[in-house]
């Protein structure tokens, strides 16, 4: 990734690299402020994943900066072990296919496998 002129870039980079799972979202994990952020936070919370939430509505620099950082135009954005995974649609698909479980397992991120299975059963 190239360095940008956005001053939030260093803060974003540090947050992504210092935490196993980070969700850049509108609102917080306890009070999401958009449906897409709510869906991804809900999946992570239901699966018992410990994650850091970053409320992009609290800082315009971060709100635009995360889009530049990932070269992805929408929020929410999920990062696992420093790697950009995707937004709401991608996380939903990965949850339903079991691919998210694999990614958590491969990266040593704890989650409730039974809860993940219940999500798939309910949406199967």
CATH of domain 8-123: 3.40.30.10
Classify 55 as helix, strand or coil.
strand
pLDDT digits (tens, 9 = 90+) for 2-36: 444 677 999 999 999 999 999 999 999 999 999 99
pLDDT digits (tens, 9 = 90+) for 102-121: 999 999 999 999 999 999 99
Neighbours of 58 (CB within 10 A): 11
Q: Is 34 annotated as a binding residue?
A: yes
Whether the model clears a pTM of 0.85, i.e. scores above it, the answer is yes
Provide the 8-state DSSP code for 57: G
Q: Where are the domains of the chain?
A: 8-123
Is the pLDDT at 51 greater than 50, yes or no? yes
- Give the span between the Cα atoms of 77 and 85, in whole angstroms: 7
């Amino acid at each position: 990734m190239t360095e940008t002129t956005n001053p939030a870039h260093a803060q974003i980079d540090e947050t992504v690299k210092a935490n196993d799972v980070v969700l850049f979202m509108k609102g917080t994990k306890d009070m999401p402020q958009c449906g897409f952020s709510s869906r991804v936070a809900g999946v992570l919370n239901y699966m018992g994943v410990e994650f850091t939430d970053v409320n992009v509505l609290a800082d315009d620099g971060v709100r635009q900066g995360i889009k530049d950082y990932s070269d992805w135009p929408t929020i929410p954005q999920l990062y696992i072990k420093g790697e950009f995974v995707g937004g709401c649609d991608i996380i939903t698909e990965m949850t339903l296919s079991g691919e998210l479980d694999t990614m958590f397992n491969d990266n040593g991120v704890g989650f409730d496998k039974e809860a993940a299975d219940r999500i798939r059963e309910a949406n199967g």
